[in-house]
Amino acid sequence: MTAIDPSTSPPRPSTESLIGRADVDDLEAILAVTNTDMDTTIRAVADNADAIFTWDYEKGARPALNKLYEKAKTSQWNGETDLPWHTDVDQEAVVVANAISSGAGFGEGIDLGDTPFAKWTEKEWIQLGVESQNWTLSQFLHGEQGALLCTAKIVETVPWIDAKYYAATQVMDEARHVEVFAKYLQDKLSGHYPINAHLGLLLDDIVEDGRWDMTYLGMQIMVEGLALAAFGFIHQMTTEPLLKQLLRYVMSDEARHVAFGVMSLKEYYAELSAPELRERQEFAFEAAVRMRDRFLQQEVWERMGLPVAEVLPLVMQSPERQLFSQVLFSKIVPNTKKLGLLDANDGWLRTKFTELGVIQFEDWADTEEEHAMFALADSDKRSG
């Protein structure tokens, strides 16, 4: 990687100019970002990009993308008919069963005396589990719609025919994901949350950037990399068979989507200059912080009637939560490494990921390498 010539490179932006606060852990600043746009049904965001035609129709010019496209064609499933929607979901019973099976609740290992949780009975803890699930699935739903729009944009903006073909299959996948998450929330859960403000800002940033690779970086590498890890965690943890199956199916698609991002950007980033790479590093860092902020699920604590600024420091101490928020980065870090983003510019992003406490994932398998492992085997498929 070429080192930056300090005489020609622009000054490095501060953490504050990138994420709007000097300290990544500044709770007050995190909580000040809230969704004020809850009553409208539609939201318009300018996407600032030209639609690109290509007259080079040579299929397979990029063999890895072509192979992925062929794989996608035979991996389609039907959200209406391939999932066991007849399953009865007793949400409160699921919360209790999940807590027993994971052997860890939020309160484990923390002294809750003298806190707003001290007076909580089982009823409030179960309600917290229910709200938390409603919130989590709602945010997945909104994120899936973000993926649907971003991938449609990639069809228009990417200059390579093999990538346009592949992205078209992803548009269909994402429509199916929006459909199944919306149906699960509607039919099986007990409430719905509007989009979290941090997630909303991130999706806006991704959509507004007109450079085609930034759509991939924001969506396929960061948002979908995180989703793949989060779905994996919940898939493993949940005792609810319908959700387990739904996540297993969605993950088989998501792994392909992240691999699509790695394959496409690997080629493109190999040609970028150090200052260009630095912009990508900054974008990745900003996205990482926004995603971390959203998982504080501030709206859930509000709905539970708790003083959010007071309870969040406790929430952040919880070992279960610390583990979860780190695991979320288990795909992102190796994938950014593979793209050269971790180490470009004297390891700028490496330093940032070290500060966020997630650098330990750098040598885990990247998704280009492991995506086939997520493919559905016949044994995963529902019989009858």
* Minimum CB distance to Fe ion smaller for 94 or for 223: 223
* Minimum CB distance to Fe ion smaller for 135 or for 216: 216
Question: Least separation, in Å, of the C-beta of 252 and Fe ion?
Answer: 11
- Retrieve residue 116's tokens: 């707003």
* Minimum CB distance to Fe ion smaller for 166 or for 348: 166
Question: Least separation, in Å, of the C-beta of 110 and Fe ion?
Answer: 34
Question: Least separation, in Å, of the C-beta of 151 and Fe ion?
Answer: 7
What would the DSSP string read from start to end of 179-228? HHHHHHHHHHSS---PPPHHHHHHHHHHHH---HHHHHIIIIIIIHHHHH
> Of the candidates 96, 339, 39, which has an alpha carbon nearest to the alpha carbon of residue 239?
96
Separation between Cα atoms, residue 99 and residue 232, nearest integer Å: 17
* Minimum CB distance to Fe ion smaller for 177 or for 350: 177
* Minimum CB distance to Fe ion smaller for 258 or for 289: 258
Separation between Cα atoms, residue 199 and residue 40, nearest integer Å: 17
Interacting residue ranges for Fe ion, rule: CB under 5 A: 144, 147, 174, 177, 224, 254, 257
What would the DSSP string read from start to end of 131-185? HHHHHHHHHHHHHHHHHHHHHHHHHHH---HHHHHHHHHHHHHHHHHHHHHHHHH
Question: Least separation, in Å, of the C-beta of 174 and Fe ion?
Answer: 5
- Retrieve residue 146's tokens: 């973000």
Question: Least separation, in Å, of the C-beta of 341 and Fe ion?
Answer: 20
Determine the length of the chain: 384
* Minimum CB distance to Fe ion smaller for 257 or for 338: 257
Separation between Cα atoms, residue 35 and residue 196, nearest integer Å: 6
